[in-house]
Structure 1
Amino acid sequence: MRVGCPKEIKNHEYRVGLTPGAVREYVAHGHEVIVETRAGAGIGADDNAYKAAGAKIAQSAEEVFTRSDMIVKVKEPQASEWVQLREDQILYTYLHLAPDPEQTKGLVGAGVTAVAYETVTDDNGALPLLAPMSEVAGRLAIQAGATALQKANGGRGILLGGVPGVLPAKVSIIGGGVVGLNAAKMAAGLGADVTILDRSLPRLRQLDDIFAGRVRTRFSTIEALEEEAFASDMVVGAVLIPGAAAPKLVTREMLSGMKAGAVIVDVAIDQGGCFETSKPTTHSEPTYDVDGVIHYCVANMPGAVPITSAHALNNATLYHGLKLADHGLKAIAEDRHLRAGLNVHRGRITNRAVAEALGYEMIEPQAALKAA
């Protein structure tokens, strides 16, 4: 199979779908790999590194899309990219379709077979291709929030860990999954006063065991959310419903009770965000102010640390990527975890959460593959 890797074009996105090390693996499996020139510049991998790994260098994204049977990316295709996709191609990347009707319409119209990293599952029911970026985003959320809390950046002017004799910042984290766990590790490690809210009692028990009293846990109710938001210097949104739009847990009305200069970091923004006032921002302009509360809602947070995140992502995506390259649609038909990742196939939506969020008729992946 011809496997193509175009350069990412989203604002300040420096990651790359295939590292040179991953290219070597695809080539070793007998595949031809086509990489757009300078695709790996953001991680310090030049064209020569890709050539040494066995890739062929394309001079444009158009050449990659035209020549490839399978496209491997990091972020969702932008408008100039989805129009280059076609029915006989596999697209393997993050999609986050539920809050993005325009992209969904573009992929449906292209007829492409789109496998989303964020809905591929494993035997434990987890999301193994989403996990590494959730780890990065959770840790970055605290770094970004701490910076936004500085007075010169519009924040309250409070140091996350405080100093002897001065209380630390209070950080509340909504969601105790991978993002929430990693955000809590960073915040507690810096000395902040941390509370995690979640609706799963078994998960709250796990978190209590992990942190051994260094982090408080609280069952998430409307009252608990209000109390924590009003008392906090930083609130991190770390809620995930696989494939679906994130629920709006903190309302516009709640902002009026928050501290002036408090910071919201919405890691769930890829799925629409879990704060009512959230809207996607970029690394160029990462924050905005609503009612005196600073919002950080960058939709590709791990792109800020591309060397770490690109290698972590490739480690996670390589196994299923090789299966797709080796066996094509047969791999999806025979592997239930890849079928869970199938979001669009030849003009049909094959993920229930996406279909319900956007008003499409959903077809089961197996039925879609048979019909095609």
Structure 2
Amino acid sequence: MIIGVPKEIKEQEDRVALTPAGADALVRAGHKVLVEKNAGMGVGFTDEEYSELGAEILPEASMVWNQADMIMKVKEPLKSEYTYFREGLIIFTYLHLAAAEELTKALMEAGTVAIAYETVENPDRSLPLLSPMSEVAGRMAVQEGSIYLEKTRGGKGLLVDGVPGVPPAHIVVVGAGNVGTGAIRRAIGLGARVTVLDINTDRLRYLNEVFMGRIETLYSNNYNLTNAVKSADLVVGAVLIPGAKAPKLVTEEMVKLMEPGSVLVDVAIDQGGCIETTHPTTHADPIFMKHDVVHYAVANIPGAVPKTSTLALTNATLPYAIRIANKGWKQALKDEMPLRKGANILEGKLVYKAVADAFDLPYTPVEEILG
């Protein structure tokens, strides 16, 4: 199979879908790897490193897209890339289709095979290709949120861990999955007072034990969430329903109750956001103010640390990419339920129900396509 790796074109997105080591592994498995010129420069991988390991460097994105059987990316294709879609082309990347109706329809119309990193799901319901970026995003959410608590950045002027005689900042984490756990880890490390809310009491119990009682846990209902958000200096929205649009749990009325200069970080913004007052922002223009509260809703938070993120992402995605390349997409999906869960669009049909429900589009069970 011919695997293509184009340069990411999303604003300030320096990650690349495949490291030189990943390219080497695919070449050793008998496949051809095409890499767009300078695709890895944002993380310090030179074209020479790729070519020395058997990859072919192509000068233009169109050449990579048009020659490849499978495109590996980091972020969802942008509108300028829709022209490259074609029947039978495999696109393996983060898609977040439940928040992208235009992209969904473009992939369907072209007959493209779209397999999403974020919906590959193990039998235990863990998300192996989303987890590494969730861990990065959770830690970054607290790191960035702490910066915007500074008065010079629009915040209320708080040092997260306080000083002797002065209490630390109160960080509220909504959602106790991988993003939430990463956020909790960083918040505790910075010395904050930490409250986490979730509807899974077993998960709350587990985190309470892991962090040795250094967090406050609350069952997530409207009453508890309202009180927690009201008292928070920094709120991290970390709610995820795999493949579906995120629920708006933190309402505008809750945001109005926050003190001026408080900070909201909506990590779920890729899936539409879990905070009612947020809209997507970029690393170039990461925040906006609403109700005197700082809103940070960058849609590719891990892109701020592209080297760490690229290495972690390739570690996770490469084994799946090799199996798709070795078997072809249809046989790989037949053989492996986790990859089958990753299928969003096959042969022009929408095969992921949460995305179909989001846009009221026809849904086709993946098994009908696979036979």
Shorter-chain TM band: over 0.9
1:355 maps to amino acid: A
1:339 aligns to 2:349 (yes or no): no
The aligned residue for residue 358 of structure 1 is 359
Q: 1:43-94, CA deviations, whole angstroms, 9 ceiling, x for partnerless residues?
A: 1001001101110001111000110000000000111112202112111000
Structure 1 residue runs of 4+, over 4 Å off? none
1:178 maps to amino acid: N
The aligned residue for residue 276 of structure 1 is 276
Other structure's SS at 2:98 match: coil
The aligned residue for residue 208 of structure 1 is 208
Q: Per-residue deviation at 1:369?
A: 3.1
2:279 maps to amino acid: K
Other structure's SS at 2:230 match: helix
Q: 1:247-301, CA deviations, whole angstroms, 9 ceiling, x for partnerless residues?
A: 0011112222101010000000010000111100000000000110100000000
Partners of 2:276 and 2:123 lie apart in 1 by 34
Partners of 1:349 and 1:95 lie apart in 2 by 13
Aligned pairs, number = 370
1:307 maps to amino acid: K
Partners of 2:140 and 2:196 lie apart in 1 by 17
Partners of 2:207 and 2:234 lie apart in 1 by 20
Other structure's SS at 2:97 match: coil
Partners of 2:119 and 2:324 lie apart in 1 by 15
2:232 maps to amino acid: S
The aligned residue for residue 224 of structure 1 is 224
Q: 1:145-178, CA deviations, whole angstroms, 9 ceiling, x for partnerless residues?
A: 0111111111111011111111110000000011
Q: Per-residue deviation at 1:187?
A: 0.4
Does the 8 A contact of 1:94 with 1:116 survive in 2? yes
The aligned residue for residue 55 of structure 2 is 55
Q: Per-residue deviation at 1:355?
A: 0.6
Partners of 1:283 and 1:337 lie apart in 2 by 32
Superposition map of 1:1-372 within 5 A: 1-328=1-328, 329-370=330-371
Q: Per-residue deviation at 1:333?
A: 2.0
Q: Which runs of 5+ in 2 are unaligned?
A: none
TM-score by length of 2: 0.99
TM-score by length of 1: 0.98
Identity %: 50
1:124 maps to amino acid: D
Other structure's SS at 1:98 match: helix
Q: Per-residue deviation at 1:337?
A: 1.0
Partners of 1:87 and 1:198 lie apart in 2 by 42
Does the 8 A contact of 1:83 with 1:110 survive in 2? no
Q: Per-residue deviation at 1:105?
A: 1.2
Partners of 1:243 and 1:38 lie apart in 2 by 31
1:344 maps to amino acid: I
CA RMSD of aligned residues (A): 0.8
